[in-house]
Chain A
């Protein structure tokens, strides 16, 4: 984890669209009057969602004005948390879990697939500027390892081939089906064994 710096290329302006504005207002309403600054983290996330998964400086400034707090305070929060992206990551933001359980189950194969399909390095935009990938820490889906996350969706029980297919679909603009790619429902046990009751030493 190194210091994440704001991108050199920044858009001039940023404004919440109507959907974001509504979401922001409903979050601010949760806090007492004059304590609206508490909503800064949620608002940064809303801004990130609206702006293809990254937060430009203009958005931080906008949020600072929106919540009546100094810019530096917003900037501090945005640079502190690693899940705020300060540079463009593409419309499809791919996060590959490489923490131990996924790693043991072959997460680096998924990384290879991303290197082939998207870009040589982490946090680098694909040729058509639509995707980027990065390695992240545990995403909490260890039972379905290895897995990756694209925007809000989890893609689980992957291997290199399946990943390549998913990435192909993404690059052509389709939305692949999220969830397990070995036909599991959520994280149910495989082989139809629903309980451990019939296992002798369980």
Chain B
């Protein structure tokens, strides 16, 4: 510990901190532009100058290591004068266009110039002007406003792992740009908008939409992937204007993916706002009563074994729970499933479908094996963590398949499942790497769990890990990247029907065994409809609604309170930021009312009862799960197969993203870049 003084107050700080961090520990705020906790230190904005005893000149506190016995002063006239001077230089070439700047109201430069700036300008010369740069469909540039903090350059190089932004020219002519003004090829690109302390990089889809103080801010959880990134939803009336990240060091740190951030305009398009009934192939508007009556008579006249329910990828746990209760209690049916493809599931213990090492644990890992996974698209934030682990510890990473650029170097095998056989039979060099590693990380992607040999791959690797003591309470190296926000929640609540891990409901559905199919937000189902009567409940007119006979308009994730369990098994609550459009209702309410219409009894009296019942159920489940001993399945037949990693279109993976214009633009921008052949 170091003892030092900040403004005459004695404090003790750990070694290795900078003066700026020491001051923060002492509760003294230091103004800064270029310094950012998650990025490397540049020290080029000079805003964080402080006075150090025995130093004749002011010192840039962000780049100065704290040392024993330092006497730091931040409130002297000397410091004030230094900061004033720096601010004057920064403002010399900064345009005075705050009234038309999107950053206005949440601009670091604006705020800090209120504290440290001079009220008059002595700069009579022409201000410099810089041409705008093209940075793709997400980032709008106004480079005249740039103060050259290089946060964006450091973010792209260090965190995103795509070295595509740089500073060209020198001195007064320095400009920040992407290479030849192409859009940035990263799924994290829009984080530079948050990082930019001025209005040089602003959000293109959000341009001139609203001022920050007009927006209602709701802290919530993202559902675009299974990570459960913490977000803040900004709404103006009904419209969700934008989505920003919230800091959660255990999950998304400070970043969110572009899909999380920009799919929100999909919440305004393609919405189902009233119940519909299909007559002669055409949808016609109906009232809730009408549709409930039709559904009621259909259910009444159908054998309960001929009814099945499927739940989708963005459904919150309350709805899943009441959906299951509705099927089990009201319909006495157990044909209920949450997987919309033939994914292998071992539901015996929770660890079989969780990311057991946790996202934070990635940084501790000393060996990573990816089996049929492209984490860059499946879980962008998690991939950023793997990159962080690689940068910190030079973690060795091996992938069974060559899946292209993952933003960090990795070795790849040929994708043959023979490799897995060899690894688990101890006759592959990777077997030794796993055994030698103290904290190995084996990651199963969805592609590996969807193949025919999924059971073999998963179970044999699991028993290999078990045999070698890599699955203990301290470190469980078995990890699955779940596909969707509701995947883990559905499994926890038991929305599956399986004996040996296969998807039985889907098999029967494909064989047209059912007469009524209730789709709860299912849009990724590949299914040829024959004579089934399909009820679709969801928020968007997408693939599911297309094949439906009755549509029940539900709410999207920003329009209802709901729990989501992320891929690590952390349960988090998403809060209601907006409300469902027109006739649409919250999803749980629809099912509750449908149950009431069916047999005059609500399943739950109100949301509170549902919530407490759900949490009870989950807590009991987790308690029970802890007492179950983890078991392995042996002797599964091996079949020669080549594993292919096929990812759905990243920008088009769910109903909300498919309704979003911004996502379409991202997709075209990416395709165009590929077509011109300038990407490599």
- A residues with a Cβ closer than 8 A to B are 1-4, 57, 70-73, 75-76, 79-80
Contact = CB atoms under 8 A, between A and B. Distances in A.
A72 B169 contact: no
A45 B308 CA distance: 71
B179 A72 contact: yes
Contacts of B171: 1
24 contacts: A1-B171, A1-B173, A2-B173, A3-B168, A3-B169, A3-B175, A57-B180, A70-B163, A70-B164, A71-B179, A72-B163, A72-B164, A72-B165, A72-B178, A73-B163, A73-B166, A76-B167, A76-B168, A79-B168, A79-B169, A79-B170, A80-B168, A80-B169, A80-B170
Chain A CB within 10 Å, residue with most, of B168, B170, B171, B175: B168
Interface string B133-168: 000000000000000000000000000000111111
B170 A72 contact: no
Given A70-B164, A72-B179, 11 more contacts: A2-B173, A3-B169, A3-B173, A72-B163, A72-B164, A72-B165, A72-B166, A75-B168, A76-B166, A79-B169, A80-B170
A179 B167 CA distance: 39
A2 B171 CA distance: 10
Contacts, number: 34
A79 B175 CA distance: 10
Interface of B: 163-171, 173, 175, 178-180
Nearest to B173: A3
A105 B165 CA distance: 45
A80 B163 CA distance: 18
B164 to A, nearest CB: 6
Nearest to B153: A72
Contacts of A76: 166-168
A4 B169 contact: yes
Nearest to B168: A79
A195 B502 CA distance: 100
Across chains A and B, which 9 residue pairs bring their CB atoms closest together, nearest first?
A: A70-B163, A72-B166, A3-B173, A79-B168, A72-B179, A76-B166, A3-B169, A80-B170, A71-B179
B157 to A, nearest CB: 8
A20 to B, nearest CB: 23
A73 B157 CA distance: 11
Contacts of A57: 180
Contacts of A73: 163, 166
Nearest to A69: B163
Nearest to A80: B170
Contacts of B163: 70, 72-73
A75 B170 contact: no
A152 B547 CA distance: 75
Contacts of B173: 1-3
Contacts of B164: 70, 72
Nearest to A57: B180
Contacts of A75: 166, 168, 179-180
A79 B166 CA distance: 11
Contacts of B166: 72-73, 75-76
A65 to B, nearest CB: 9
B128 to A, nearest CB: 10
Nearest to B180: A57
Most buried by B among A2, A3, A4, A80: A3
A80 to B, nearest CB: 5
Contacts of B169: 3-4, 79-80
